[in-house]
Amino acid sequence: MKKACVLIADGSEEIEALTPVDYLRRAGIEVTLVGLRGFQVKGARGIVITANAVLESVCDILFDALIIPGGMPGASNIAASAKAVEMIKRHYREGKIVAAICAGPAVVLQGACGLLDGKRFTAFPGTESQVPRGIFVPDRVVRDGTIITSRGPGTAGEFAVSIIECLSGRQAAQSVAEAVLLH
């Protein structure tokens, strides 16, 4: 069974964190929702999310996909965590899927990890200027190798389906998209 991890911190955008959890679980992918500092995380809209694990307990595990939601200051909080940054870089080095949405590509993947130089990416409008050596593409979801990026809350479903396609194939992705009436 494929395994994915969604990192969340205080200020993470709830839709961008929970949509991938929901969709990937519908596809039969085991998803661990990981709180940066604890099990209770207060999202960008004030919704309290209960994580399955805390970063300290899973930072040495290698998942098939590592997912970073946006939202502020959630993305900044993830970027400021040395353990989270090392975990993201290790997953990238090991050829695992590293996916980020909204502010996540600019603030975390590039700002903290330096992973987008020369890579095609998308992000929340305006944040692309924070990735001067990346190749900005204004699509809703962009894949470049093992990196998947997306624009924001309104693209969270497509973002999640793209991750499913990479992990479990096109048929599994289409099945989930149809089940949730995404298309």
* Domains identified in the chain and CATH numbers: 3-179 (3.40.50.880)
104: buried, middle or exposed (CB in 10 Å: 19+, 13-18, 0-12)?
buried
Which pLDDT value is given to residue 183? Answer: 80
Segment 14-51, tens digit of pLDDT: 999 999 999 999 999 999 999 999 999 999 999 999 99
Residues with catalytic annotation?
A: 102
Segment 113-163, tens digit of pLDDT: 999 999 999 999 999 999 999 999 999 999 999 999 999 999 999 999 999
Cβ atoms of residues 15 and 42 within 8 Å = no
Which DSSP letter does residue 154 get? G
User: How much is the pTM?
Assistant: 0.97
69: Cα within 13 Å, side-chain hemisphere: 32
